[in-house]
Structure 1
């Protein structure tokens, strides 16, 4: 009853029609200043410790193109996980689009370092039948930058509305033919969020990371969430220790897909995207 009351408050606070309209329309929405800059600075500190550790382990960090990595992490290894996962906007967006029984299946971060090049236009995974046949979104990706993004730092670029494109001629169901690039470039929007901002998008909306010409990395946290009909949890290994699990709010526990462990095990990255390794030709 407490959880349902909380969700009703969250949905009343944020416009459900605007949430659904944005994600079913452009395929991306955002909330400015969702978190304090101090909270984000703490997150950035945690990410850099985890990044350096991941780079030392085989399979700890996977390439997403030259000078660009993705690292999947354990929720309890960042200090702000509960605040992120229970933020009223995050809760409202997940409930509005994915339903009451949504599940958090992934947490990690991307780091486009100086020298990262333009990625090819892509989806993060092939479109499921729910989307191709049923015209429904059954998963979302939340992104949160840990730095103020500037034009030369390789901003995220997205082609609004393309989550509905049928994957005809897509390599591995994810990479559209280069003959289609002009359409995506015509639609392209570059996103330059500031510390504290958070976005939600369909990972099926065609997008890419752009070239980082600066001398600064651009880390971004990723939170992946599924509807009951999605199976993205199969690509990930969200572990939680029994001791940490006991500290979590009950309302959050039911929204996690997890493996309970006595001690956290290193994550070997299973979700590689080979088409991103060379960057855009």
Structure 2
């Protein structure tokens, strides 16, 4: 995973400020993400079969990843370049609050266009960024298997103004095609939607959530088991400081708590 200069991180942060997103090409090793995909496949099958996913539309499933094994990898969630961008956008001492996947299957459909969080204050102009999603796919993402579609710059618009512009066809959607190893950092307030997967293979997209030090949504969280917590670096412990510690992970999971996702 390449180290990036301070100047390059500043450039990425400036692009993010303008567009509400930035993509780092070929950032993670594809071989590592292939291991993630192989570990995720049985989890996906089990959770879909047990109907314990959060349904994000027809044949589209949100699944929290267990913070264990390959998924508790500090080389991913403590990646210096990604955290360098996160800190430039949401300030020093951010919080990691989410480790999950969004996976459209064959038969999925277009989502309604939406934002992933409400504004902090309904009667105020949009604030600086306070909640980010870092996304990376576990396969190549093409126009056929359900690319993420987003608008540029709407993270700095009031929700009503952005939706009015969308309804009046003054906003365009951009399909984000990605290769295995690419990473997207985005403001969750930008108007966006998921698209149909027209192939027979799942299209898993990992999401790691980071937010400002004071922001916490209890329905979005990571259970950190004691054995994993013991192995964490001080940096990782600080990122996960608000996340609940548990003696062990619950194998027989209840349905996902993060149900309301569109605003």
Q: Common fold, TM-score beyond 0.5?
A: yes
1:34 aligns with 2:27: yes
Which residue number corresponds to residue 113 of structure 1?
105
Deviation at 1:131, TM superposition (A): 11
* Secondary structure, aligned partner of 1:195: coil
| Separation in structure 2 between the aligned mates of residue 68 and residue 93 of structure 1, nearest angstrom | 29
Structure 2 CA distance for partners of 1:260 and 1:74, relative to 1, 3 Å? same
| Separation in structure 2 between the aligned mates of residue 97 and residue 125 of structure 1, nearest angstrom | 17
1:64 aligns with 2:56: yes
Deviation at 1:47, TM superposition (A): 1.5
The equivalences for 1:74-153 within 5 A come to 74-79=66-71, 81-129=73-121, 132-133=124-125, 135-153=127-145
Structure 2 CA distance for partners of 1:179 and 1:35, relative to 1, 3 Å? closer
Which residue number corresponds to residue 244 of structure 1?
228
The root-mean-square deviation of aligned C-alpha atoms, in Å, is 2.5
Find the partner of 1:271 among 245, 258, 262: 258
Find the partner of 2:237 among 224, 244, 253: 253
Which residue number corresponds to residue 156 of structure 1?
148
Structure 2 CA distance for partners of 1:43 and 1:274, relative to 1, 3 Å? closer
Deviation at 1:227, TM superposition (A): 0.3
| Separation in structure 1 between the aligned mates of residue 245 and residue 90 of structure 2, nearest angstrom | 24
Please tell me whether the aligned partners of residues 149 and 218 of structure 1 are also in contact (alpha carbons under 8 angstroms): yes
Find the partner of 2:10 among 6, 17, 22: 17
Structure 2 CA distance for partners of 1:11 and 1:143, relative to 1, 3 Å? same
Please tell me whether the aligned partners of residues 29 and 201 of structure 1 are also in contact (alpha carbons under 8 angstroms): yes
Please tell me whether the aligned partners of residues 117 and 262 of structure 2 are also in contact (alpha carbons under 8 angstroms): no
Find the partner of 1:198 among 183, 196, 218: 183
| Separation in structure 1 between the aligned mates of residue 221 and residue 38 of structure 2, nearest angstrom | 23
Please tell me whether the aligned partners of residues 224 and 243 of structure 2 are also in contact (alpha carbons under 8 angstroms): yes
Q: Which runs of 5+ in 2 are unaligned?
A: none
* Secondary structure, aligned partner of 1:222: strand
| Separation in structure 1 between the aligned mates of residue 180 and residue 75 of structure 2, nearest angstrom | 15
* Secondary structure, aligned partner of 1:269: coil
Structure 2 CA distance for partners of 1:80 and 1:229, relative to 1, 3 Å? closer
1:50 aligns with 2:35: no
Deviation at 1:94, TM superposition (A): 1.6
Deviation at 1:78, TM superposition (A): 3.3
Normalised by the length of structure 2, the TM-score is 0.89
The superposition leaves residues 78-130 of structure 1 with CA deviations (integer Å, 9 ceiling, x where unpaired) of 34631111112111112111222101001100101111111111111212239
Normalised by the length of structure 1, the TM-score is 0.83
* Secondary structure, aligned partner of 2:209: strand
User: Runs (4+) of structure 1 moved beyond 6 Å?
Assistant: none
Deviation at 1:156, TM superposition (A): 0.7
The superposition leaves residues 30-74 of structure 1 with CA deviations (integer Å, 9 ceiling, x where unpaired) of 11111111101001112212212322445x201111011111122
Please tell me whether the aligned partners of residues 104 and 223 of structure 1 are also in contact (alpha carbons under 8 angstroms): yes
Which residue number corresponds to residue 170 of structure 2?
183
| Separation in structure 1 between the aligned mates of residue 95 and residue 29 of structure 2, nearest angstrom | 25
